Amino acid sequence: MATTSNVLTDDSSVSRADRALLHVEKALNLAAGITIFALVLLAISNVLLRKLLNAPVPGYIDWTEQFMAVFAFLGLAYVQREGGHIRMDLLVGNLKGRLLWLFEFLSVIFMWVVVTALIYGTWFHFDRSFDFSAPNWSTDSSIDIALPLWPAKLAVPVALTILWLRLAVQIWAYGRGLVQGGDRIVAVPLPEDPAEQASKEAAAVGALGGDRRG
């Protein structure tokens, strides 16, 4: 599941857009990873402080739920860029050239439509909990220590907007592939056969190459 796909680059504008966006996506995904790490540290401190000093971290669950908004959403676009979101490639795995780009194009269009709707819907969800005139700009708050909820809710439309941009780049790239034809187009993850996928999967957990520690 944790494959890193091969995305070709050249000096066309679509490829430049791809790489520009990739900087943002990587940073967001790393932020998500660091938040997971922070969650682990927070949970460990909570147990230890509770058991040893009988003084748990105040608002532990509230903080955890705020963290979750970060790692549940910020990596969305990066994973799409790498071709990681789970799908069945029984059909597309056997297609080539224009026909493949057609299916990929359609597939991304479907995503783009629903992501557009969700940006509106999740923005509205955020907007209801946000008010400039309220204390902490917030109209609702978490149960225990009353953290404002709007920052976590805002993370969703923000992440979806980056994903929306990523999908726009992919629509552009697949559209270009449809027009130009050929098997190797830039700015989108190219299909891999299961063996290639498997090797990458294995590499992701360090099972390949210099087996220094394993």
Alpha carbon distance 212, 185 (integer Å): 36
Among 20, 99, 120, 183, binds other proteins (CB under 8 A): 120
- Tokens at residue 204, please? 């992701």
3-state secondary structure of 14: helix
Among 21, 75, 105, 162, binds other proteins (CB under 8 A): 75
CB of 40 to other proteins, least distance (A): 4
According to DSSP, the residues that pair with 49 across neighbouring strands are: none
Cβ 163 vs Cβ 191: under 8 Å: no
Check binding of 40 to other proteins (CB under 8 A).
yes
Pick the piece of the chain touching other proteins (CB under 8 A) from 13-21, 101-109, 130-138, 169-177.
101-109
Among 6, 64, 136, 139, binds other proteins (CB under 8 A): 64
Check binding of 143 to other proteins (CB under 8 A).
no
Under rule CB under 8 A, which residues in 2-31 are in contact with other proteins? 2, 29-30
Check binding of 47 to other proteins (CB under 8 A).
yes
- Tokens at residue 149, please? 């909820």
Check binding of 55 to other proteins (CB under 8 A).
no
Check binding of 201 to other proteins (CB under 8 A).
yes
3-state secondary structure of 134: coil
CB of 172 to other proteins, least distance (A): 18
Q: Which residues contact 213 (CB under 8 A, 6 or more apart)?
A: none
3-state secondary structure of 16: helix
Check binding of 195 to other proteins (CB under 8 A).
yes
Check binding of 214 to other proteins (CB under 8 A).
yes
Is the Cβ of residue 120 or residue 137 nearer to other proteins in the bound state? 120
What number of chain residues touch other proteins (CB under 8 A)? Answer: 81
Closest-CA residue to 103 (of 20, 208, 52, 177): 177
3-state secondary structure of 32: helix
Cβ 1 vs Cβ 86: under 8 Å: yes
CB of 112 to other proteins, least distance (A): 9
Is the Cβ of residue 10 or residue 113 nearer to other proteins in the bound state? 113
Alpha carbon distance 121, 212 (integer Å): 49
Q: DSSP of 165-176, one letter per residue?
A: HHHHHHHHHHHH
Among 6, 103, 131, 141, binds other proteins (CB under 8 A): 103
Under rule CB under 8 A, which residues in 161-190 are in contact with other proteins? none
